[in-house]
Every structure is written in C-alpha cells, then in structure tokens.
C-alpha cells in the first residue's frame, strides 16, 4: 500500500487505492483478468473540496473503465492500484 498523498485534489475528485484483483473464485476456478476487472473495490484515501457523498476510509465500487490511473515511478506506483475518480463515477459504497 502506498503512502502517497496529494497536496490538494481539485473539485469533485476522489483519490482511491484499489484492492488487488482475485486470481480465483470462491469455488477455486481461475478468473481471467479481463473478466475480473469489470468492476473494482477500493478505499477512498483523499477527497476534493466539492465531494459531498464520500470520505476517506470509505470502501467503494468503481468501474474499471472510469477514472485515471496513477503511475508515478518516483513513488514506486507502477501498477493500476491508485486512481483518481470524479464523484459521479463512483458506483456505490460497501
């Protein structure tokens, strides 16, 4: 898990750290990465000043096709586990 933090997020942006994708189903079947990435679960790390519905620490569901992935080599963020979403791209909380 990264300890990266924005100095400030603009508008209704939400910084999320995504959980890793499962490799197997509960029944033991291997999941293809294309199917397991249709939606993702993550934890809200920071919110912008205009965000009304979410706060840091919330577990949320997002589409894998939404948001902007962060790839920052100097902070060793080289995979798709850190993303920024607009508030209206969040599907819900769990």
Q: Evaluate whether residue 44 is within a structural domain.
A: yes
Q: Are 64 and 40 in contact (CB under 8 A)?
A: yes
The model's pLDDT over 18-60, given as tens digits with 9 standing for 90+, comes to: 887 666 667 777 666 655 556 789 999 999 999 999 999 999 9
Q: Evaluate whether residue 75 is within a structural domain.
A: yes
Q: Which pLDDT belongs to residue 31?
A: 64
Split into its structural domains, the chain has a count of 1
53, burial (CB in 10 Å: exposed 0-12, middle 13-18, buried 19+): middle
With 90 as the cut, is the pLDDT of residue 1 above it? no
**Nearest to residue 17, comparing CAs of 51, 67, 52?**
67
Q: Which pLDDT belongs to residue 33?
A: 60
What CATH number does residue 51 fall under? 2.30.33.40
Of the candidate ranges 2-11, 14-23, 32-41, 59-68, the one whose mean pLDDT is the lowest: 32-41
- Domain interval for residue 18: 13-93
Q: Evaluate whether residue 19 is within a structural domain.
A: yes
Q: Evaluate whether residue 6 is within a structural domain.
A: no
Q: Are 66 and 88 in contact (CB under 8 A)?
A: no
């Amino acid at each position: 898990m990264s300890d990266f933090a924005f100095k400030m997020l603009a508008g209704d942006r939400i910084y999320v750290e995504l959980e890793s994708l499962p490799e197997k189903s509960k029944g033991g079947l291997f999941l293809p990465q294309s199917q397991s990435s249709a939606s993702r679960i993550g934890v809200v790390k920071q919110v912008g000043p205009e965000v009304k519905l979410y706060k840091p620490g919330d577990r949320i569901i997002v589409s894998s096709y939404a948001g902007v992935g962060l790839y920052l080599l100097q902070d060793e963020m080289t995979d798709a586990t850190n993303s920024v979403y607009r508030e209206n791209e969040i599907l819900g909380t769990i």
